A = this chain, B = another copy of it.
Amino acid sequence: MTDDANWVERFPGLSRLDLPTKQLLTTRSTIVSVAKNTMVFGPGNSPENMLFLLDGTVRVQQVSETGHQIVLYRIEAGQSCVLTTACLLAYDDYSAEGIAETVVKAAAVPRGVFDDLVAGSKPFRDFVFAAFSKRITDLFLMIDEVAFQRIDVRLADKLVKLSGGSDTVSTTHQKLSVELGTAREVVSRQLQEFQRRGWIEQARGSVTLKDKRQLQTLADHSA
Protein backbone atom coordinates (compact mmCIF):
# COMPACT_ATOMS: atom_id res chain seq x y z
CA MET A 1 0.00 0.00 0.00
CA THR A 2 1.11 3.58 -0.46
CA ASP A 3 2.39 5.80 2.28
CA ASP A 4 -0.38 5.95 4.85
CA ALA A 5 1.18 8.74 6.85
CA ASN A 6 0.68 11.07 3.90
CA TRP A 7 -2.87 9.98 3.15
CA VAL A 8 -4.10 13.54 2.99
CA GLU A 9 -2.25 14.05 -0.28
CA ARG A 10 -4.29 11.31 -1.87
CA PHE A 11 -7.51 13.25 -1.47
CA PRO A 12 -7.91 15.61 -4.42
CA GLY A 13 -9.99 17.99 -2.37
CA LEU A 14 -7.62 18.01 0.57
CA SER A 15 -4.29 18.51 -1.13
CA ARG A 16 -4.93 22.24 -1.20
CA LEU A 17 -4.98 22.49 2.56
CA ASP A 18 -2.30 24.54 4.22
CA LEU A 19 0.45 22.68 5.99
CA PRO A 20 -0.72 23.10 9.60
CA THR A 21 -4.15 21.79 8.69
CA LYS A 22 -2.67 18.79 6.95
CA GLN A 23 -0.53 18.08 9.94
CA LEU A 24 -3.51 18.34 12.25
CA LEU A 25 -5.40 15.85 10.10
CA THR A 26 -2.47 13.48 9.97
CA THR A 27 -1.49 13.56 13.60
CA ARG A 28 -4.98 13.49 15.06
CA SER A 29 -6.31 10.69 12.91
CA THR A 30 -5.76 6.98 13.13
CA ILE A 31 -5.62 4.49 10.29
CA VAL A 32 -8.16 1.74 10.69
CA SER A 33 -8.79 -1.42 8.73
CA VAL A 34 -12.14 -3.06 8.26
CA ALA A 35 -12.69 -6.61 7.11
CA LYS A 36 -14.75 -7.38 4.06
CA ASN A 37 -18.51 -7.64 4.58
CA THR A 38 -18.35 -5.84 7.91
CA MET A 39 -20.98 -3.27 8.76
CA VAL A 40 -19.10 0.02 9.01
CA PHE A 41 -22.11 1.91 10.28
CA GLY A 42 -25.77 1.20 10.59
CA PRO A 43 -28.83 1.37 12.80
CA GLY A 44 -27.64 1.45 16.36
CA ASN A 45 -24.06 1.73 15.26
CA SER A 46 -23.10 5.38 14.88
CA PRO A 47 -19.38 5.71 14.44
CA GLU A 48 -17.45 7.99 16.73
CA ASN A 49 -15.27 9.21 13.92
CA MET A 50 -15.50 10.71 10.48
CA LEU A 51 -13.98 8.24 8.05
CA PHE A 52 -11.85 9.12 5.02
CA LEU A 53 -11.51 6.09 2.78
CA LEU A 54 -7.98 5.27 1.69
CA ASP A 55 -8.67 1.88 0.10
CA GLY A 56 -11.71 -0.19 -0.70
CA THR A 57 -15.39 0.46 -1.09
CA VAL A 58 -18.26 0.93 1.30
CA ARG A 59 -21.73 0.17 -0.01
CA VAL A 60 -24.54 2.20 1.52
CA GLN A 61 -27.93 0.56 1.30
CA GLN A 62 -31.28 0.81 2.87
CA VAL A 63 -33.78 -1.69 4.16
CA SER A 64 -37.33 -0.56 3.63
CA GLU A 65 -40.19 -1.05 6.02
CA THR A 66 -41.60 -3.34 3.36
CA GLY A 67 -38.54 -5.55 3.60
CA HIS A 68 -37.19 -4.42 0.25
CA GLN A 69 -33.62 -3.30 -0.11
CA ILE A 70 -31.92 -0.81 -2.37
CA VAL A 71 -28.34 0.31 -2.80
CA LEU A 72 -28.11 4.08 -2.36
CA TYR A 73 -24.49 4.75 -3.31
CA ARG A 74 -20.93 3.67 -2.76
CA ILE A 75 -18.10 5.43 -1.01
CA GLU A 76 -14.85 4.87 -2.85
CA ALA A 77 -11.25 5.54 -1.92
CA GLY A 78 -10.64 9.28 -1.85
CA GLN A 79 -14.10 10.02 -0.55
CA SER A 80 -15.47 10.61 2.88
CA CYS A 81 -18.33 9.22 4.91
CA VAL A 82 -18.84 12.62 6.43
CA LEU A 83 -22.40 13.05 5.36
CA THR A 84 -23.58 9.61 6.21
CA THR A 85 -21.93 9.93 9.55
CA ALA A 86 -23.49 13.31 10.06
CA CYS A 87 -26.85 11.87 9.21
CA LEU A 88 -26.45 9.10 11.70
CA LEU A 89 -25.49 11.56 14.38
CA ALA A 90 -28.48 13.73 13.64
CA TYR A 91 -31.09 11.03 13.12
CA ASP A 92 -30.11 7.72 14.59
CA ASP A 93 -33.43 6.10 13.85
CA TYR A 94 -32.96 5.68 10.16
CA SER A 95 -32.28 2.55 8.34
CA ALA A 96 -29.31 2.99 6.03
CA GLU A 97 -26.24 0.91 6.64
CA GLY A 98 -22.72 0.96 5.30
CA ILE A 99 -21.05 -2.32 4.46
CA ALA A 100 -17.43 -2.82 3.49
CA GLU A 101 -17.48 -4.49 0.08
CA THR A 102 -13.77 -5.09 0.20
CA VAL A 103 -11.10 -4.82 2.80
CA VAL A 104 -11.30 -1.14 3.69
CA LYS A 105 -8.58 1.09 5.00
CA ALA A 106 -9.63 4.47 6.29
CA ALA A 107 -8.41 7.43 8.29
CA ALA A 108 -10.61 8.02 11.32
CA VAL A 109 -10.91 11.64 12.36
CA PRO A 110 -12.53 12.35 15.74
CA ARG A 111 -15.56 14.58 15.64
CA GLY A 112 -13.94 17.33 17.63
CA VAL A 113 -10.99 17.51 15.28
CA PHE A 114 -13.37 17.51 12.34
CA ASP A 115 -15.25 20.45 13.78
CA ASP A 116 -12.04 22.36 14.41
CA LEU A 117 -10.99 21.77 10.82
CA VAL A 118 -14.28 23.02 9.45
CA ALA A 119 -13.95 26.11 11.61
CA GLY A 120 -10.33 26.79 10.82
CA SER A 121 -9.81 25.95 7.17
CA LYS A 122 -11.66 27.31 4.19
CA PRO A 123 -10.36 24.61 1.83
CA PHE A 124 -11.55 21.97 4.26
CA ARG A 125 -14.97 23.62 4.40
CA ASP A 126 -15.08 23.60 0.63
CA PHE A 127 -14.18 19.93 0.61
CA VAL A 128 -16.96 19.08 3.05
CA PHE A 129 -19.60 21.14 1.32
CA ALA A 130 -18.60 19.79 -2.06
CA ALA A 131 -19.02 16.27 -0.70
CA PHE A 132 -22.47 17.09 0.61
CA SER A 133 -23.45 18.76 -2.63
CA LYS A 134 -22.24 15.91 -4.76
CA ARG A 135 -24.16 13.46 -2.66
CA ILE A 136 -27.38 15.41 -2.80
CA THR A 137 -27.23 15.93 -6.55
CA ASP A 138 -26.47 12.23 -6.98
CA LEU A 139 -29.51 11.40 -4.90
CA PHE A 140 -31.59 13.69 -7.10
CA LEU A 141 -30.41 11.78 -10.13
CA MET A 142 -31.14 8.50 -8.42
CA ILE A 143 -34.70 9.53 -7.61
CA ASP A 144 -35.15 10.46 -11.23
CA GLU A 145 -33.84 7.10 -12.36
CA VAL A 146 -35.89 5.05 -9.94
CA ALA A 147 -39.03 6.97 -10.78
CA PHE A 148 -38.73 7.26 -14.55
CA GLN A 149 -36.08 5.08 -16.07
CA ARG A 150 -36.93 1.76 -17.64
CA ILE A 151 -35.55 -1.24 -15.86
CA ASP A 152 -33.67 -2.60 -18.88
CA VAL A 153 -31.82 0.70 -19.25
CA ARG A 154 -30.95 0.77 -15.57
CA LEU A 155 -29.81 -2.84 -15.55
CA ALA A 156 -27.59 -2.34 -18.59
CA ASP A 157 -26.08 0.72 -16.96
CA LYS A 158 -25.50 -1.10 -13.70
CA LEU A 159 -23.85 -4.05 -15.42
CA VAL A 160 -21.42 -1.80 -17.26
CA LYS A 161 -20.64 0.20 -14.12
CA LEU A 162 -20.14 -2.88 -11.96
CA SER A 163 -17.92 -4.50 -14.54
CA GLY A 164 -15.43 -1.67 -14.41
CA GLY A 165 -12.57 -2.54 -16.70
CA SER A 166 -13.34 -6.24 -16.59
CA ASP A 167 -15.80 -8.20 -18.69
CA THR A 168 -17.40 -10.25 -15.98
CA VAL A 169 -19.57 -9.26 -13.07
CA SER A 170 -19.57 -11.66 -10.18
CA THR A 171 -22.95 -11.25 -8.61
CA THR A 172 -26.28 -12.94 -8.32
CA HIS A 173 -29.60 -11.92 -9.76
CA GLN A 174 -30.72 -11.26 -6.22
CA LYS A 175 -27.89 -8.80 -5.60
CA LEU A 176 -28.51 -7.05 -8.90
CA SER A 177 -32.16 -6.62 -7.94
CA VAL A 178 -31.08 -4.90 -4.71
CA GLU A 179 -28.80 -2.61 -6.70
CA LEU A 180 -31.81 -1.42 -8.66
CA GLY A 181 -34.47 -1.75 -6.01
CA THR A 182 -36.49 -4.21 -8.06
CA ALA A 183 -37.37 -7.90 -7.85
CA ARG A 184 -35.10 -10.80 -8.66
CA GLU A 185 -37.54 -12.18 -11.20
CA VAL A 186 -37.40 -8.92 -13.11
CA VAL A 187 -33.62 -9.07 -13.26
CA SER A 188 -33.73 -12.69 -14.38
CA ARG A 189 -36.12 -11.86 -17.19
CA GLN A 190 -34.08 -8.91 -18.39
CA LEU A 191 -30.84 -10.87 -18.28
CA GLN A 192 -32.48 -13.58 -20.34
CA GLU A 193 -33.42 -10.97 -22.90
CA PHE A 194 -29.86 -9.59 -22.95
CA GLN A 195 -28.56 -13.11 -23.39
CA ARG A 196 -31.02 -13.76 -26.21
CA ARG A 197 -29.57 -10.73 -27.95
CA GLY A 198 -26.07 -12.06 -27.42
CA TRP A 199 -25.00 -9.17 -25.22
CA ILE A 200 -24.18 -11.30 -22.20
CA GLU A 201 -23.61 -14.86 -21.11
CA GLN A 202 -24.72 -16.17 -17.78
CA ALA A 203 -23.35 -18.60 -15.30
CA ARG A 204 -24.34 -19.28 -11.75
CA GLY A 205 -23.22 -16.25 -9.78
CA SER A 206 -21.72 -14.31 -12.68
CA VAL A 207 -22.55 -12.44 -15.84
CA THR A 208 -20.12 -12.10 -18.73
CA LEU A 209 -20.47 -9.01 -20.87
CA LYS A 210 -20.00 -10.06 -24.48
CA ASP A 211 -21.00 -6.77 -26.05
CA LYS A 212 -20.42 -3.94 -23.64
CA ARG A 213 -20.93 -1.39 -26.37
CA GLN A 214 -24.52 -2.43 -26.98
CA LEU A 215 -25.20 -2.42 -23.26
CA GLN A 216 -23.71 1.04 -22.99
CA THR A 217 -25.84 2.23 -25.89
CA LEU A 218 -28.96 1.02 -24.16
CA ALA A 219 -27.85 2.63 -20.91
CA ASP A 220 -27.19 5.94 -22.65
CA HIS A 221 -30.50 5.79 -24.42
CA SER A 222 -31.92 7.85 -21.60
CA ALA A 223 -30.72 11.02 -23.31
Residues of chain A touching chain B, judged by Cβ–Cβ distance below 8 Å, are: 62, 64-66, 68, 70, 72, 83, 86-87, 89-91, 94-96, 115, 118-120, 122, 125, 129-130, 132-137, 139-144, 146-149, 181, 222-223
- Name A119's closest neighbour in chain B (CB-CB): B119
Check A91–B222 contact: CB distance below 8 A: no
Residues on B with C-beta less than 8 A from A72 are: 140, 143
17 A-B pairs, CB-CB below 8 angstroms?
A: A64-B148, A65-B144, A68-B148, A70-B143, A70-B144, A83-B133, A86-B129, A87-B133, A91-B137, A94-B141, A118-B118, A118-B125, A139-B139, A143-B181, A146-B147, A147-B181, A148-B181
Q: Are A96 and B140 also in contact (CB < 8 A) when A68-B148, A147-B181 are?
A: yes
- Name A181's closest neighbour in chain B (CB-CB): B147
Check A140–B94 contact: CB distance below 8 A: yes
Q: Are A83 and B143 also in contact (CB < 8 A) when A68-B148, A122-B119, A130-B90 are?
A: no
- Which residue in B91, B115, B141, B146 is a CB contact (below 8 Å) of A146? B146
- Which residue in B66, B133, B135 is a CB contact (below 8 Å) of A148? B66
Contacts A136-B136, A139-B139, A143-B181 given; 6 further ones with Cβ under 8 A? Answer: A64-B147, A66-B149, A68-B147, A72-B140, A94-B140, A146-B147
Residues on B with C-beta less than 8 A from A66 are: 148-149, 222
**Among A65, A72, A132, A134, residue most surrounded by chain B Cβ atoms (within 10 Å):** A132
Check A136–B135 contact: CB distance below 8 A: yes
Residues on B with C-beta less than 8 A from A119 are: 118-120, 122, 125
Complex Cα–Cα for A140 and B95 (A): 9
Complex Cα–Cα for A141 and B66 (A): 12
Check B143–A62 contact: CB distance below 8 A: yes
Residues on B with C-beta less than 8 A from A83 are: 132-133, 136
